[in-house]
Amino acid sequence: MPKKEAGPPERRALGSVYYSAAHDSWCAEINLGLDSRGKRKTIKRYFKGSEKDRKVQKKAEAKLAELIADSGRGALVNPQSITVAEWLDQHLKRWNSKLANTSKKENDRLARIITEKIGRIQLQAIQPYHIQQVIDDSEKFAHRSRMKILQLLRRAFAEAVSLEVISKNPAANIRAPRAPRAEGKTGIAWTREEVQKFLEVAREYRLYPLYCLAFSIGARIGEIQALKIDDLNLQDGTLNIQRSVSGRDDKTYPLQISGGKTEAARRKVRLPEDVKPILAAWLFRLEEDRKAAGPQWNEEGWLFPSMNGKLLRYIPFWQNFQIVLKRSGIRTGTIHDMRRTFITLAIRSGVLPEVVAKIVGHSSVRITLEEYRRVQDDELENAAVTLTGLLG
C-alpha cells in the first residue's frame, strides 16, 4: 500500500509516483536536478482519484514513464518556471486566433489588468485567494469587465488543467462578482414623430441617407461606416453587413475594421421600400462627389465615405449628428439611440422580437427585449384606456 503523504519525500530518484492527500490525486513527479540557487527542479502531473484507485495510479505511472522518456530526448519543458503572465500570453495567442480584432483587443486589456496583480506568480503556485484578490481589486471597473476577467481566468486555467500543467483550476469556484443594482435602462427611443422631425432637419445635410438607413434597419454606426457600395443590392433590395468599424481614430481608441462583432452580426437584411429610392439617389450623389473631387478622390469603395472618398470618421459624423439633434428640438440622445429607436418602433409595429433580433444582428432575442426595447409614454396611456372597465 503506497504511503499517504502531503508531498514528496526529501530524496527521490529520477522520478516517482505517489499519492498526494493535499491534492486528492496521484502524482507523477520527475526530478530535473538543481537550479542555479541549489533548489530542486521538478515536474509534477496530477491525476484525480482516491488512494485505492489502481487505474488512476497506473495512469500516473504511465505518465512518469513518458516524462522520463521526454527528459532523455531533451523534449521536456519545466512548467514550474511558467508565470501567470506567460501562460495568459500563450493562451490568448491560441484563443485570439479565431476572434475579431475588437475582441482580441478587449482580451489583451483584461490580461493586462490580471498581470498587474498576479502576473509574476508561478502558474503552479497560484491559489484561489490570488484570483479572489484580482476580482476584489477590480471594483473600479464596470461589472461587465469584472465578469470578463473571471471568465478569462477560468478559461485559461481550465486549459492549463487539460494540458496537465496544473492539477486544479484555482478560478473554478470563485464566486462571480455581484452586479450593481439596476437603476433602469440607459438610453432612449424616440417616437415616430420625433424621428420625422429629426429627418426633416437631416434632409439639409449630406449624410441624410445614412440617417434614413440607420432608422430603417437599426444597424450599429460602426457597421454603417464599414459598408461598401458592393454590399448594397438595390435590384433585390438587400444589404450585406459583414464588417464593422471600431474606435475613433485617436490615441485612446485607434481605428480598426473587423469582420463583425459576432457571428450573428454578419447578416443580410432586406431594405424597406421607402429607403430604396433614397439610397439610389445617394449613389448618384456619390458620382457627383467623385467628379467634383477630381484627383483628390480616394476610390476605396465605401458606401458612405467622407467628401474625399475615404472612410467616414466617427468624430465628424458625431458632430453632424449633434447639430441635427439640436436643430430638430427633440429629446437629447446618442447615436446608438437610433438603434434603440428602430428596435422599439419595429416591435410596436408588430414585427416579432425574434425577427427584429435577426435584423439588428443580436445573438439573442433577450438582448433585444431586455436591453434595447423601450416602453413609450403613449403605450402606457393606451394601456390605461384598454384596461378601463376591467372591474366590470
Q: What CATH number is associated with residue 261?
A: 1.10.443.10
Do 374 and 328 belong together in one domain?
A: yes
Query: Which pLDDT value is given to residue 8?
Result: 47
Answer with the one of 58, 78, 98 that is the final residue of a domain.
78
Distances in whole angstroms, Cα of residue 191 to Cα of each of 194, 322, 340, 363, 373:
5, 18, 11, 26, 13
Inside any domain, residue 187: no
User: What pLDDT was estimated at residue 157?
Assistant: 93
C-alpha–C-alpha distance, residues 287 and 329, integer Å? 33
The grid coordinates of residue 80 equal 514550474
Residues 242 and 331 in one domain: yes
Same domain, 275 and 257: yes
Q: Is the pLDDT of residue 6 over 70?
A: no
- Burial readout 137-163 (b: 16 or more C-beta within 10 A, e: otherwise): ebeebeeebbebbbebbbbbbebbbee
Q: Are residues 137 and 279 in the same domain?
A: no
Tell me if 347 is assigned to some domain: yes
287: left (phi over 0), alpha (psi -120 to 50) or beta: alpha
- Do 340 and 265 reside in the same domain of the chain? yes
- Both 293 and 330 in one domain: the answer is yes
Strands (E), 133-237: 232-233
Q: Do residues 197 and 320 share a domain? A: yes
Q: Is residue 167 part of a domain?
A: no
Residues 252 and 107 in one domain: no
pLDDT of residue 79: 61
Dihedral, CA of residue 45, residue 51, residue 54 and residue 58, to nearest 10? 20
pLDDT of residue 387: 64
C-alpha–C-alpha distance, residues 274 and 116, integer Å? 54
Is residue 325 a contact partner of residue 334, using CB atoms and an 8 Å limit?
A: no
Which residue among 78, 101, 127 closes a domain? 78
Q: What is the pLDDT of residues 109-150, one digit of tens each?
A: 999 999 999 999 988 889 999 999 999 888 888 888 899 999
Higher pLDDT, 280 or 47: 280
Specify whether 223 is located in the same domain as 283.
yes
Domain assignment of residue 22, given as a range: 4-78
For residues 200 and 275, is the Cβ–Cβ distance under 8 A? no
Of the three residues 46, 78, 110, the one that is the final residue of a domain is: 78
Task: Let me know: does 318 contact 250? Beta carbons within 8 Å.
Answer: no
| Res 77: pLDDT | 55
With cut-offs at 50, 70 and 90, classify the pLDDT of residue 254.
low
- The answer to whether position 332 is within a domain reads yes
* Dihedral angle of Cα 302, 308, 313, 315, to the nearest 10 degrees: -150
All three cell numbers of 27, joined, read 502524482
In a domain, 185, yes or no: no
Note whether 95 and 155 are within 8 A (CB): yes
* 230 and 271, same domain (yes or no): yes
pTM for this structure?
Answer: 0.56
For residue 47, name the pLDDT band (cuts at 50, 70, 90): confident
Instruction: Could you list the beta-strand ranges (E) of the chain.
Output: 4-5, 15-20, 25-34, 40-48, 232-233, 238-241, 244-246, 256-258, 267-270
Q: Are residues 225 and 292 in the same domain?
A: yes
Place of cell 432575442: 365
- Say which CATH number the domain at 133 has: 1.10.150.130
Mean pLDDT (whole number) for 368-390: 76
**276-293 and 208-217 are packed helices; what angle lies between their axes, rounded to 10 degrees?**
150
Q: Is the pLDDT of residue 192 over 90?
A: yes
Classify residue 103: in a domain, yes or no: yes
Q: Which one, of 106, 129, 105, 107, lies nearest residue 117 by Cα? A: 129
Looking at the structure of the chain, the number of domains it has is: 3
- As a whole number, mean pLDDT of residues 369-386 equals 77
Q: Are residues 331 and 264 in the same domain?
A: yes
The verdict on residue 244 lying in a domain is yes
- The pLDDT-based confidence of 286 (bands split at 50, 70, 90) is very high
- Who wins on pLDDT, 221 or 369? 221
* In contact, 300 and 231? CB cutoff 8 Å: no
Block residue for cell numbers 473600479 = 140
- Is residue 22 in some structural domain? yes
Which residue(s) pair with 122 in the sheet?
A: 83
Amino acid type, 181: R
